[in-house]
Chain A
């Protein structure tokens, strides 16, 4: 006995209707939620930048941003300048925080000069230079905002990821990992060295801040290597800006 649902024509029609129905539902939902999602993502960038320069609501061991309602106001209060560095030329752009680092990295590969955003923040009389960086973890993208002083000593960092393994690589956004970067030097004897996420580190308490190393997370080797690599490749691009800063 042949079932109605076994016919080829039925199968094809079913597939077509199903695809259309699902497509319409998802497209409609996407269109409806898009403006809200974009807004959330913009505020998140402001929260990330503020977090890196120490404007946050950290409690105990957990990392907390300033609230979404307060973020835009605090952002304009603490961030004094937003710069874009392209081809060594520095210009101001108050939308620099919206620059898509991923797109700029693709542009650089295609031969178009990369626009490097840099945010200058001031808090308690101290000046912070905050740069966004981006790289690859184990499964997907990882990125960070690193706040430095004028001699490229890290003052704060916020790491995030798209899909690292929960409990392992995903821990790069935990405070025990991020706080380890504070005080670490990116330069070594006048040249850029970066910060290595090192295994078998002889300095687990991280008392030596000039060894260009922080302690890795067990079970997250590839994510850790990704962190080292993106610091090396992306923050290096800012070295000439800091050198000019010193010379002037």
Chain B
């Protein structure tokens, strides 16, 4: 990577696979279960987290030497909540339509443990540039899993992708449905997201034995 040093590049690439926030660090599971019933919601959530985690990590990193350690968790919460509210207000004033789409994600972002987890584990001990890269890397790692889970849940649960029917019409019985295929309504419920994440973890660890814990 010409643009980044090897060490910095690792900050972006590691969370995509070998140190993935969801499958390895087991952070951000709650939102991964909640909003992956549709691919579109997964993508919107991924972009929102990318934004908040990138900027939040930089802010916390800049403040890392003045934050009193006794109340650091509260300070982190305030930073992320403030960021999210600022974005929400500005969108409501200037891009009302977009804010309507995103407003449901606001609460999910504030409580997303990836954000608190990266503030605590990385930004408090590293400079702003590296923290920024770490934030982007982890958000991308989160996005990869969300999109994979969203893809399978929407495809098998509703027979659509991004809202477009790809397997035919279940009511008119066209396409795959004409030979007796049925949507699996269970895929739309949260437990199936957990099972899909579980399968991803299984596949990942069986291919890379170094990840298996004793």
Q: Does chain A have a CB within 8 A of B96?
A: yes
Chain A interface, DSSP helix/strand/loop, else mixed: helix
Q: Does B67 contact A (CB under 8 A)?
A: yes
Stretch touching chain A among B10-18, B34-42, B110-118, B135-143: B34-42
Q: Contact check, B103 vs A163: say whether CB atoms are below 8 A apart.
A: yes
A61-B163 in contact given A14-B67, A167-B36 (Cβ < 8 Å): yes
B75 at the interface (CB under 8 A from A): yes
The size bracket of the interface on B is 35 or more
A163–B93 CB distance below 8 A: no
B96 adjacent to A44 (CB under 8 Å): yes
Shortest Cβ distance from residue B80 to the other chain A in the assembled complex, whole angstroms: 12
- Establish whether residues B66 and A14, one from each chain, have CB atoms under 8 Å apart when the complex forms: yes
Bound-state Cα–Cα, A163 to B96, Å: 16
Given A29-B89, A33-B92, A33-B93, also A168-B71 (CB < 8 A): no
Chain B residues with CB below 8 A from A219, complex form = 37, 185, 188-189
Chain B residues, Cβ within 8 Å of A68: 96
Q: Is B179 an interface residue (CB 8 A)?
A: no
Please determine whether A5 and B86 come into contact, CB atoms closer than 8 angstroms.
no
Query: B92, A40: Cβ atoms under 8 Å?
Result: yes
Among the listed A14, A162, A163, which residue makes an inter-chain contact with B68, where contact means beta carbons less than 8 Å apart? A14
B107 neighbours in A (Cβ, 8 Å): 163
Residue of B nearest to A15 (CB): B71
Q: Which residues of B contact A161 (CB under 8 A)?
A: 104
Q: Answer whether residue A88 sits at the interface, using C-beta atoms and an 8 A cutoff.
A: no
Within 8 A of A (CB), among B15-48: 34-38, 40-41, 44-45
Contact B69 A30 (CB under 8 A): no
**Measured between alpha carbons, how far is A18 from B63 in the docked complex, in Å?**
11
Whether A14 and B71, one on each chain, are in contact in the complex, defined by CB atoms closer than 8 angstroms, is yes
User: Interface 1/0s, chain A 1-20, versus B by CB < 8 A?
Assistant: 00101100011001100100
Nearest Cβ distance between residue A217 and chain B, in whole angstroms?
9
CB distance from B149 to the nearest CB of A (A): 11
Q: Given A5-B68, A204-B171, A26 and B188 touching (CB < 8 A)?
A: no
Contact A167 B103 (CB under 8 A): no
| A170 lies within 8 A of B104 (CB) | yes
Is A29 a contact partner of B37 (Cβ separation < 8 A)? Answer: no
On chain A, the residues within 8 Å of B89 by CB distance are 29-30, 33, 37
Beta-carbon contact of B37 and A168 below 8 Å: yes
Please state if A18 and B171 are interface contacts (CB–CB under 8 Å). Answer: no
The 4 closest A-B pairs by CB, nearest first: A167-B37, A167-B38, A166-B41, A33-B93
Q: Which residues of B contact A (CB under 8 A)?
A: 34-38, 40-41, 44-45, 65-71, 74-75, 78, 82, 85-86, 89-90, 92-94, 96, 103-105, 107, 154, 157, 163, 171, 185, 188-189
